[in-house]
Amino acid sequence: MSSKPNINMENFEVFLMDYFDGTLSPEMTDQLMAFLDSNPDLKAELEDFNNYNLNPIEEFSENNTLKSSLKREESEQPKNFINHENLDDYLIHGLENNLNPSESEALRTFLILNPEAQKSANLVEKLKLTPDKKLRFDDKNLLYKTSNLSNLTLSEDTAEEFIIAFCEGDLTINEAENLKKWIAANPKWQSVLAAYQNLKLTPDKKLRFENKNLLYKTSNLSNLTLSEDNAEEFIIAFCEGDLTNNEAENLKKWIAANPKWQSVLAVYQNLKLSPDYSIQFPNKDSLRIRTHIS
């Protein structure tokens, strides 16, 4: 049984040629990379191979230099050519396991040749989320979808409630299937279902809003400089949610530097109405629109 060839200073260039020709086996590729790791001074050799490529020259004149005819421009590099400009893209694709074996090896080679790029690789690696398997959610039943109609029986009296919940996506899979079967057995309710489905708004994706800058939030105070004279205007706009994020942050900093205005802010904040969630409307059925069924 023949032993594997050993890569050394005398023969490493032969293995480099095989590597770039794509004929070097994965096992020998690992051995070549290990050899280069232990001989940093030879990385320049690999870099030279990476930057030059022989192209056929139909006409050779004295004006052509050997280097210009051999060296590839960056735009001519193969698709898996990695440089500092596209490194982040390759690192992210590698993190998401979207690189093929050739691209993965090219990325590994680039990081060996460019140790300073390892910092970017380490930062990208930190973006990867790993689950904490020690955490356990005890009551998994709470994760399953339920509806407020689970205690109701589908009938003529409750059909409209089920149809509305179906159109709003609030039914469970079983409830939705039961409703479809029930309507198939009671065809007069198909028109009710169609009426509610027509109420659902769907976006027209063909429409394009050209000036998207107009969608960003602005305020009527954008031309004013925050001061003692207009601070109350800014506070009122803040309480009404009419300030931009930057204006709101600037107001908070200004009030921190001018503590006497904290009481003014507190007064206006107390004027803001907030819903009382303890109040319940008992007869919600009366709020629903009833469709006449002939």
Residues 16, 71 within the same domain:
yes
Q: Is residue 154 part of a domain?
A: yes
pLDDT in tens, 104-155: 888 888 888 888 888 888 888 888 888 888 888 777 777 776 767 878 899 9
pLDDT in tens, 51-94: 545 455 444 444 454 444 444 444 444 455 788 888 888 898 88
- pTM, two decimal places: 0.30
**How far is it, in rounded angstroms, from Cα 166 to Cα 187?**
17
**How far is it, in rounded angstroms, from Cα 134 to Cα 141?**
19
- pLDDT: is 43 or 173 the higher one? 173
Q: What percent of the chain has pLDDT over 90?
A: 20
Q: Is residue 284 part of a domain?
A: no
Residue found by looking up tokens 């509305």 in the block: 164
Q: Compute the average pLDDT of residues 39-59.
A: 58
Identify the three-state secondary structure at position 75: helix
Q: Is residue 24 part of a domain?
A: yes
Residues 105, 29 within the same domain:
yes
Phi first, then psi, for residue 86 (nearest 5°) are -105, 10
For residue 69, the model assigns a pLDDT of 44
**How far is it, in rounded angstroms, from Cα 231 to Cα 127?**
42
Name the residue range of residue 144's domain.
Answer: 140-198
How many domains, the chain? Answer: 3
pLDDT in tens, 204-246: 888 887 887 777 767 778 788 899 999 999 999 898 888 888 8
